Amino acid sequence: MTQLVTYDCSDGIAILTLNRADKRNALCLALWQELEGHLDTIEAAGNAIGVVVLRAAGPVFCAGNDLKERGVKFPRPFYQPHIVTRLASIPQPLIVAVQGGCFTGGLELALAGDIILASESASFADTHGKFSMVPMWGMSQRLPRRVGSFKAREISFTGLPVSGREAERIGLANQCVADDQLEARTMEMARAIAGQSRHSVFAYKELYIAQADLPLAAGLAHEVFNTKGRGTDLEERVAEGFGKK
């Protein structure tokens, strides 16, 4: 049986791949369940994993929710938003690599990422309005935090697509690269993160999440009083760094 989300892990890099290309990686119940299982694996691995990559097989990242499953009973209320929140909240940095269409539920999934890399073929859109739907997976919260409130309103009110290059310009994507460079750039960034101290990177992510909506003074105080301090690998890394000079 074909896995709808594949999982690979090596050298501290975990890779999740949406693998329903024949359905444009539409988000069905079975896919959500596989994704949840992989999140269990990642959480259990702890510091053994330094960074997580979310990508997709085929020409389309994700066409959104599988609307043919409207009558499907999910395991519990608010199942999908719970999974998206879990994905956004893993201690490891999450890189999302987007090619082709990234629509509505797919965009909400991508917005869980700490870093979004887009190819030139990428096309981001919020089409809730086209189908008389209202978001429940984080669009109204995560999109304006990336692009600003009024740009988010434009994207959501119109349903018009945003290209990869435009996504980079407005801050929806961190970078936009040629299609044939997306995988290489994604893995280059993943290796760079995996090579950093887990202690530092995980603490940074925790700080960025906790301070996202704090005024500057409160954020500065939070940083001081909630510091994780030095990592156990500090001496080793300092010695290694000076040894290379």
pLDDT at 74: 79
Q: What global pTM score does this model have?
A: 0.94
Q: In the predicted model, what is the mean pLDDT of residues 191-215?
A: 95
List C-alpha distances in Å: 45 to 9, 10, 13, 27, 90.
Answer: 10, 12, 11, 25, 11
Provide mean pLDDT across the span 94-109: 98
- Quick one: average pLDDT of 69-82? 83
Average pLDDT of span 222-238: 87
